[in-house]
Chain A
């Protein structure tokens, strides 16, 4: 109990000082009361968990927005997804006497943390978004990530909802003892791969044979099957298809079809909406709650977050090749001229190893004439510049500015000088909150929100 009190006091003081209290109180509480998570977890009647490499924070935020229409929940929607972040989220909804004030928790959980906390929570639904190559120096190798999620899933009695389009997520679903449901895009949206990018999980995890793809959605996500065993993409239980600026979802079990608006940009984000709506359906949410939740959705920090700077700037977190490619594709699809600021750090939370920059498809920028200049920044500003040079981006349009605030000013100045309508800022994790702060300071008003201009196909 003492741990809870001290942590709640810290949290109170932090908030009073205007600081974020997403992880630190949990860290202190864990040290003082190591079993606090078990104690609070046992008071929940249900936990809904989102894990996977990309899309955790956005999917959680979307689903939270929908769930909150029906009941108060505990959630770590700011992306603090390690043990201390989960605990902080629960403590925030705990009384001083140690009683949890909500019965539902919606938590995004880091892949490696999942097996450590799964038994402490009554997980009724686990959503696996996808498994891409992430920070290798943290997990060792991709196989380890897969193993961690499997270990977590093994402790769960409830339903598993996995992305049918990702062979790695599908593989996890296949080995679950309980109910497994899948979601995926409509086959008609699959395209032939035109870019030579690195793909994960191109081999069958059941037998080792090369997987056959009849089409791709993005990254390794597509319509696949193994020519030598029975492994393949199932017909998803929840099928999503794009209908102008809406997402149409077909439930193949009850054969119901419904349409929701898209409060996000980029195909990878449409996949997050599909995951969240499918999860909401599994949680038996009313359709009105879903629609209202989506309508009031606000993008988390660094997920296509718009700032009213001059010109307008759009902030994006990048942390691995697949997520980065999604952002790059979305940026390139915006036809207007633009300036880009790419800030790369290599602190522990960013991933110490920056070799992933070479797996991301920066060649997209080299072949796009609408990208007028690129400013690189962060501890690895020079690495980023070298990456762009070898991608074929003209060196004379490249600026290296290690100081991040100066780099942002330079970006806005370059855009202003040429009357360019927007600047895109992409940063790794340890720079994203600073970026949001600096861009807010440079905003005309404090208006911010999700990026609503729709063009997703």
Chain B
């Protein structure tokens, strides 16, 4: 009998702006449908983050006020985060969570919110938000569709998650979206991200299972509904170009 996969949802009380619950639910259901046991640990404000106990971490997005509160807590365990990343802990960070992985997020009033410094990456707020449907092409996980809504312009020199086909991406200038470093995935794509992108969801689960040393029968699911939603959005937003 194998153990349960532990998924940590960080600060669901603060970083829950874009239905991040949907990402957790997608991971959980896709495990359950395959008969793999899993447990979600919700880490709330003020509670310690026990990185060594988790097999997967989700960091969602929040408003500027909430993001600042989270940044302060997270930075107290900067070293732990660095070690966990080196050890291969899969981390999915969306929107605000993505920005927190870098060295800082500079707000519109020039105040700098220091990040986790896991990545060599900086974000600067602009008064023009980048909002709309987004479609990207990734070497790792194929096509990804979703929605973006961010004031931040993010710049880094790591491998991006994918190339923007429609929408804005990291900064609206260089044509790239997201980041991929060790097993850390950062992205501005919500909608939420995982339900309509089943391949990405499964790749994340596979890396979590591998990190957890769990050998299971990870068979294909019937994703007809998911792919029809995926393709429908892909053709709606990429056709315009």
Contact = CB atoms under 8 A, between A and B. Distances in A.
Interface of A: 136-137, 140-143, 198, 202-203, 208, 210, 352-359, 382-383, 385-387, 389-392, 395, 398, 400
Contact of B229 (A143, A356, A382): A382
Interface in B214-237: 225-226, 228-229, 232-233
A355 B16 contact: no
Contacts of B151: 140
A136 B196 contact: no
A210 B13 contact: yes
B19 A356 contact: yes
Contacts of A387: 22, 195
A356 B147 CA distance: 12
B3 interface: no
A241 to B, nearest CB: 31
Contacts of A398: 225
Interface stretch (B79-87, B126-134, B172-180): B126-134
Given A140-B129, A356-B19, A390-B26, 11 more contacts: A136-B17, A137-B132, A137-B147, A137-B149, A203-B14, A210-B13, A354-B147, A354-B191, A358-B22, A359-B21, A390-B29
Interface in B1-42: 13-14, 16-19, 21-22, 25-26, 29
Shortest 6 CB-CB contacts between residues of A and residues of B: A358-B22, A358-B19, A382-B229, A355-B19, A141-B63, A353-B147
B232 to A, nearest CB: 5
Interface in B100-149: 129, 131-133, 147, 149
Nearest to A202: B13
A386 B206 CA distance: 22
A19 to B, nearest CB: 29
A382 B228 contact: yes
A202 to B, nearest CB: 6
B186 interface: no
Contact of A386 (B69, B147, B226): B226
Interface of B: 13-14, 16-19, 21-22, 25-26, 29, 45-46, 63-66, 69, 129, 131-133, 147, 149, 151, 190-192, 195-196, 225-226, 228-229, 232-233
Given A198-B16, A385-B225, A352 B131 contact: yes
Contacts of B21: 198, 358-359
B196 A353 contact: no
A257 to B, nearest CB: 39
B56 to A, nearest CB: 17
B240 to A, nearest CB: 14
B192 to A, nearest CB: 5
Contacts of B25: 358, 390-391
Given A353-B149, A359-B21, A385-B225, A143 B63 contact: yes
A386 B133 CA distance: 18
A390 B196 CA distance: 11
Contact of A383 (B26, B66, B229): B229
A387 B25 CA distance: 10
A137 B131 contact: yes
A349 to B, nearest CB: 15
A352 B147 contact: yes
A137 B232 CA distance: 21
B98 to A, nearest CB: 16
12 contacts: A142-B17, A143-B64, A143-B65, A352-B132, A355-B22, A358-B22, A358-B192, A383-B196, A383-B229, A386-B226, A390-B22, A390-B195
A208 B69 contact: yes
Contacts of B14: 203
Contact of B192 (A137, A355, A391, A392): A355
